[in-house]
């Protein structure tokens, strides 16, 4: 079912995904914390229509590369048009099921291992988010910076909005109980987190391993 939403619904995704009023802040916060640098290689897992690509392209410049991976050709078609329209020279796209992703294919498309890996609002939709994340990290360098942005039910006073969040997540095929950011909490160093929109949006950013010692 979720697969169909992201095929026939691809052209309406940007309009119906409540990007600006609700979800954009999760993406921009993650990218800000990841702080991609000029020339870096970025894997955007489950990239959808490429809403992360303009800010990533602006940060890494033409010497860097963004690889957007998604299993929906229709979502990728929108991402491709966005990249062409906005002249996002760093963007490449790969149609693949993230749960069966070939890390070597990712490294080849990126021109080397990923420096940065992010997954925004996508792991909670996947049948096996742990396997998808494992494969994405296998395409990254050992000290890559990583980010997961995903959703849960809002809490505190914002829990009044829980039925809305549930309906919205259900529409997108997301399971609000998955909490995929825990994978970063368990694995990464230099962990930073943000809880946004009454806890509905969770952002976690970290580093896969401590930074290599600097040579004096």
Ligand X SMILES: C[S@@+](CC[C@H](N)C(=O)[O-])C[C@H]1O[C@@H](n2cnc3c(N)ncnc32)[C@H](O)[C@@H]1O
Among 29, 40, 43, 46, binds ligand X (CB under 6 A): 46
27 binds ligand X (CB under 6 A): yes
Closest residue by Cα to residue 50 from 84, 9, 16, 7:
84
Min dist. Cβ of residue 198 to ligand X (A): 19
Question: Binding to ligand X by residue 31, rule CB under 6 A?
Answer: no
Give the orientation angle of helix 129-138 with respect to helix 103-110, to 10 degrees. 50
The DSSP secondary-structure symbol of 140 reads E
Shortest distance in whole angstroms from residue 193 CB to ligand X: 18
**Binders of ligand X among 77-106, rule CB under 6 A?**
97-99
Counting contacts by CB under 6 A, is residue 71 touching ligand X?
yes
Structure tokens at 184: 């970063």
User: Where are the alpha helices (H) located in the chain, listed in sequence order?
Assistant: 2-5, 10-16, 24-34, 53-60, 73-86, 103-110, 129-138, 162-172, 182-187
Q: Which stretch binds ligand X (CB under 6 A): 44-52, 104-112, 135-143, 197-205?
A: 44-52
Which CA distances in Å does 122 have to 6, 44, 48, 56, 201? 11, 10, 9, 17, 12
Stretch that binds ligand X, among 29-37, 40-48, 58-66, 206-214 (CB under 6 A): 40-48
Residues in contact with ligand X, total (CB under 6 A)? 19
| Contacts to ligand X by CB under 6 A | 6, 27, 46-48, 51, 70-72, 75, 97-99, 120-122, 125-126, 172
């Amino acid at each position: 079912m979720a697969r169909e939403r992201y095929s026939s619904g691809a052209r309406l995704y940007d309009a119906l995904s409540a990007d600006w009023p609700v979800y954009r802040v999760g993406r921009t916060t993650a990218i800000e914390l990841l702080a991609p640098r000029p020339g870096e290689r970025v894997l955007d897992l489950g990239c959808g229509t490429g809403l992360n690509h303009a800010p990533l392209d602006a940060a890494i410049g033409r010497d860097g590369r963004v690889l957007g991976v998604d299993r929906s050709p229709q979502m990728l078609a929108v991402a491709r048009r966005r990249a062409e329209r906005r002249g996002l020279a760093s963007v490449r796209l790969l149609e693949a099921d993230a749960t069966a992703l070939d890390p070597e294919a990712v490294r080849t498309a990126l021109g080397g291992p990923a420096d940065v890996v992010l997954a925004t609002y996508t792991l909670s939709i996947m049948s096996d988010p742990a396997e998808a994340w494992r494969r994405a990290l296998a395409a990254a360098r050992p000290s890559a910076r990583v980010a997961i942005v995903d959703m849960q039910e809002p809490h505190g006073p914002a829990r009044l909005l829980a039925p809305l969040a549930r309906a919205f997540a259900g529409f997108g095929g997301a399971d609000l109980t998955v909490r995929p950011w825990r994978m970063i909490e368990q694995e990464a160093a230099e962990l930073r987190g943000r809880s946004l929109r009454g806890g509905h949006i969770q952002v976690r950013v970290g580093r896969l391993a401590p930074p290599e010692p600097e040579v004096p």
